[in-house]
Each structure stands twice: as structure tokens, then as C-alpha cells.
Structure 1
């Protein structure tokens, strides 16, 4: 399943990918992917559909909350639901994921509660959840750093003698960072049980992937001795199948694997970004025709698994999740300003104590200014 890179295959070619469901919702056979999803039945498909709809509804609510001043920032993931849900559903409960700030679908799939998804974006906590409760590390803001964390954890798993696997999620832009290359070197050298999931959403903030890579990103991994697969990231079944292959490869002691999931970020990089400044609407509309949720709905309809009752149940579940997210955000307790220094380090830290003292003096200056003149 190693990717073969050719000069006629540009990095922006979205058709030269492995898939099992076309953009019209038709099933197709792929010798690399199809064997890994032979057990997927109608109920599994319906579950994947529900997860993607919930993720999209939560994403829309997060954007709305930020626009209303309730969150400091939000990183939209509309259009990327298939790769997030498909790959995360393949993970075993004791596997461990290391993500960027955009993998909302991974958090939901791993059991995050609504409050877990908003308190850090609201600035109330350093992390919204205990990583060991979900099997997901605190989302990494530093681009690509989580790839090294995943490899380090995987090397620890090797020394513990278990068969857990770690998953490193990052975008196409992160592959231009040294951290990702270093992670690939270590993973390959030590045959670490880690799966690299590169979500190629076509843009690293405002730079198109063609500026970073002249050939498919999946073609880089074999240069490190790591087998790779380039898939249609808007095909949730392809994402599930590819991840099952990669996890089996890593879990069986054959070392790391790499997946490039070709998809598209429909919204801005974050809510502080204006994507109309660097891409045209025609491009967005072309990708809208490849929508991952509409694709799975078409497949379900063709196989008799989609009707009005199911659609209403999914919509109601998504709305309930969104209502809980909004409630968690609006009712999140605001801690005292000095609380920002709590839980930064596990042990006492003199540098942090000095920063706390300086910040306390700064805040006290405001109190003095507010005292009435005598």
C-alpha cells in the first residue's frame, strides 16, 4: 500500500486518491481499502452519518458563539468531518490520539462532553478535559508539535510491552515544519507504533498546498521508510478503511504508517481569518459538490438506510448537542485572573511565582485607581 509518486501527479490532484464512495454516493471497489470495511453494515453507516452531522452542528455553534463574543477563538472544521470521524472510529479505546486544534470530530468520537469543547476557547482553562479520560492529548496549538508527542508516547508503549497505537493528526501546513520530519525520522528508526494522519485541506492558513508541495504529501513518507496511502478525505468509509489498515500495520509490530486525506476547509482557518482574501468562491463551490455528509446520505438512500424519521432523529440529536454546548459556554464559571497560573506545572516553579507576583501587582494598580478620592 506504499504510495508511488510520479512527476505527472501534482499535489493538488484530488482525483488521484483511493476511495470507496464517489462524490455522487456510489460504491466503488478499491483493492487496498475494500477488504478493511467488509464488515460495515447499514447501522454502522448510519452511525457514521450521525457523528458527522453532530460534529458539523457543533462546529456551527462554536462559530456562532465566537461571533457573539462568548469564545475568544474557534477553528472551524466544516468539510473535514469524514476524515475525523472515519479515522477516530477505527481507534481502539486504549489507543491515544494527538491532535491539532481543528479535530472536533475526533474529540466527539472519543467521548468529549460539550463543556470540554469550549472552556479552553473561552479562556477559562488550559485544557477542557483530562487527556486520560478520552485517550486524546490536549490539542496542540504549536503547528506540528503533536507529531513528536505521538511518537514519544508510542516509543513508551513499546517499552511497556503493550499493543496500543498512537495517532498524530496534523494538516498539510504542518508538513513544512521540522517537527513533522523529525517525528517521521524517529518513528521509522525505532519502528514506533504510530499512525500519522495528514489532513490535506488545501490551505496552510492562506497559502495553498501547491506552494508547499509540488507532489502528493503521502509521497514523502516512503522516503523515511514509512508506507503511506493517499485517500479521498471526504469519503468516510475510505477514512475508516485506511485507518484500520494503518492501525493493523502499527499494532502488529511493523512500525509506523502514514495517511494523507485529501479534503477541503470550507470555512476560515480560524474565526480571525477572512478566506475570501486568498481563494475564490468558484473553488469553494466545486468542493461543496464533494460534501462528505451529502455523499454518505446519498449512499444511505441508495441502500435503503435513510428516511425522514432517521433524518429527524439525527437533526434532533445534533441540536441537543449544540444546545448543551451553548449552555456549557454561557454558564462556564469565570475563575479569578490569577488562576491563569494554576496547573501550569506539576511542581512549584519559581519563575511562575514571580510572574504571579508581577501580575498581582498589575491588577492591584487598577483597584487603587478605582478608589474614591478623599
Structure 2
């Protein structure tokens, strides 16, 4: 497993991967992680107050998301699942989009997002979308150019549970067959809802990549330095035309799978306690404090920023406008189809029947 920062906040060296950023970069990473955790807590509270129908907490996975998101550059494209809130935040996605989706105010039809595509609720199918998009980059000549600035790649996020899905394995096959410039970023948070990783795979997930014909790397998903270094490597080889790769970010879902889940029913308290000692935010905070890069005043300022972020999230809820079925039908395809128009008419007649019977 690639690790560059221990849970105690000590730097390590690795033979193949190195963090090339600065201390200032790490201060920015810590800010991202703290604010993402605050937004996540705020959204969870909003769900508990009945303002959201559901929420998918990211608690504990901040380093995996921030480190990988910071490896994305202009021209690259991200395909998320439904828990990549920190990735969305880093890449500038309006957080009201996320709140609106889980409130039911929008159908995920977010407009004008070139880098970050829509959340995918159906487990794993975004890997096929990502692989197809990556193949399209090849056809467009956006891969393997001498001028690296002309090159792009795709990164797609999925969980350990999704790795058991047929769609995901089909995506691996297509990516390998066509040498597609796609990075499969698996956040192994140890639990596919209530099923442990030991029940899903007899071998570490990253070793599966070899069977499909591309490299796999396991990285400490709670170490933002290592995640950034490994993702930089994977994205760069994809941009250069060297094909797909698989990253297993070994992390832990410190909270529930969703706000409708109770992890105390299937997880031992001792396991939770053990992983708290590997907290990604705490380890980077310790390191940066020891380096003299942050202090109590800095942390207090970030706490104030987090409170403001939370207040903005709460204030945005009444401003969210519910989508309409007409809009949803209008945004399925760029040009309407005969079949879709027939479905739209059928729905309109169905909805009108309730008004007639009122």
C-alpha cells in the first residue's frame, strides 16, 4: 500500500510515488477536507430535519476525494457516483446542485458542467459512461499528443461494492480492449452497505486489475499526499495514451451508508474506534502543525468559514425550485425522439387523470 503520511502525521518516502506539491498546497488540501466535512455534516442535519429525502455521508473519505480531485486538470472529465461531495466542492460544482438532488428538487440534470458530470445513483453504471467518454477522447485526438497540454483523461469513481457489479466489470473489459484513457478510482470504504469487503473479494481489489490487463495500485485512502501522488501518475499515463489503470483507495466509511442506514447493526464499535485513529483530517492537521504551517488561529478561521458554509447551505433550501416532469422529459436527449414523446404524452394523461378525479 502506498503511504506518504502516517496516521501520526509523519512523512514517509516511497520508491515509486512522491508528493511533488508544496506545504502551501497541503494547507489548501486541509481546508478542502475540513470544509467538505462541514458541508457533509450540515447536509446530514438537513436530512434529519426533513429538508432532504436522503443523504450519502462522506465522513472519513475526505482525503481520497480531495487528493484525487486535485489531480484533475482542465480538459479532464470526472464521472462520480453519489458520494463524491468533496470532489464536487474542489471542482467548483455549486453545492446547491447536490442538495437539490437529494431533496428531489432536481433530477440531477445539472447544466454546463464540463469537468464534473452528473451524480449517478444506479450502482456502477457510470463506469460504462466514463469508458465510452474516454474512448471518445481517443477518437477526438485528445490522447497521446506530443504536447501534453493537448491531452485529456477521464476519472470515474466507484465503491468496493460496485466492483461486484456486472456493469463495472464490463467497463474494465472495454477499457482494456480499447486502451481507453480512464482511471477507475475505487474508494474501498470496507462496506458495501452492510456487506464487508472480505465477503466481496478473496483478494485485494487492486489485484483484480491485472486480470483485465492494466495496472492496479492500492493507496492509503486516508493519506491525501499519497492519493494525490498516485492519481497524478494514473491520470498522466492515461493522458499519454498508456491506457487505463485502477486505484484502490483503502479508506473507511466512518458514518452510515446513507441516512436511512444504521451501521451499528452490522459493525463492531471496536472497528470504528480503530479507524478513528487513522482519521485523514487529523493526520494532516498534526503534520501541518508540526511544520508550523497552521496554528490555532488558522483552525479557528477555517471553523468560521465552515459555519458560514453551513449557514449558506441552510439558507439555500427555501430557494430551491422543484423541477417539473416537462423539464425532465425535455432534457433526456438533445433532440426529442418519437418514443420519448409518446412517453411524455402518456405521463401527461396519467397526471391529468388525478385532476379529473379530484
TM over 0.5: yes
User: Per-residue deviation at 1:188?
Assistant: 1.3
User: How far apart, in 2, do the equivalents of 1:337 and 1:260 lie?
Assistant: 39
Partner of 2:166: 178
Work out which of the residue numbers 104, 109, 122 in structure 2 matches 1:142.
122
User: How far apart, in 2, do the equivalents of 1:158 and 1:362 lie?
Assistant: 44
Change (3 A) 1:347 1:239: same
User: How far apart, in 2, do the equivalents of 1:201 and 1:346 lie?
Assistant: 37
SS across alignment from 1:118: helix
Partner of 1:167: 155
- Contact 2:161–2:192 (8 Å) recurs in 1: yes
1:159-183 Cα deviation digits (max 9, x unpaired): 1111100001100011111112111
Q: Which moved more, 1:139-148 or 1:232-241?
A: 139-148
SS across alignment from 2:158: strand
1:65-108 Cα deviation digits (max 9, x unpaired): 11111111111110000010000101112100111001111111
The answer to whether the aligner puts 1:222 opposite 2:210 as a matched pair is: yes
1:301-354 Cα deviation digits (max 9, x unpaired): 111111122112211222222222222222212345655544233333454445
Partner of 1:117: 98
- Contact 1:114–1:324 (8 Å) recurs in 2: no
User: How far apart, in 2, do the equivalents of 1:153 and 1:298 lie?
Assistant: 40
Partner of 2:74: 93
- Contact 2:125–2:168 (8 Å) recurs in 1: yes
Partner of 2:148: none
Work out which of the residue numbers 98, 106, 111 in structure 1 matches 2:87.
106
> In the TM superposition, what are the counterparts of 1:152-301 in structure 2 within 5 Å?
152-162=132-142, 163-301=151-289
Partner of 2:147: none
User: How far apart, in 2, do the equivalents of 1:257 and 1:362 lie?
Assistant: 47
Work out which of the residue numbers 25, 31, 35 in structure 1 matches 2:9.
25
1:257-284 Cα deviation digits (max 9, x unpaired): 1110000011111111111111121111
SS across alignment from 1:65: helix
Q: What root-mean-square deviation, in Å, do the aligned CA atoms of Structure 1 and Structure 2 show?
A: 1.8
> In the TM superposition, what are the counterparts of 1:15-94 in structure 2 within 5 Å?
17-34=1-18, 37-38=19-20, 40-94=21-75
- Structure 2: runs of 5+ lacking an equivalent: 143-150
User: How far apart, in 2, do the equivalents of 1:339 and 1:161 lie?
Assistant: 34
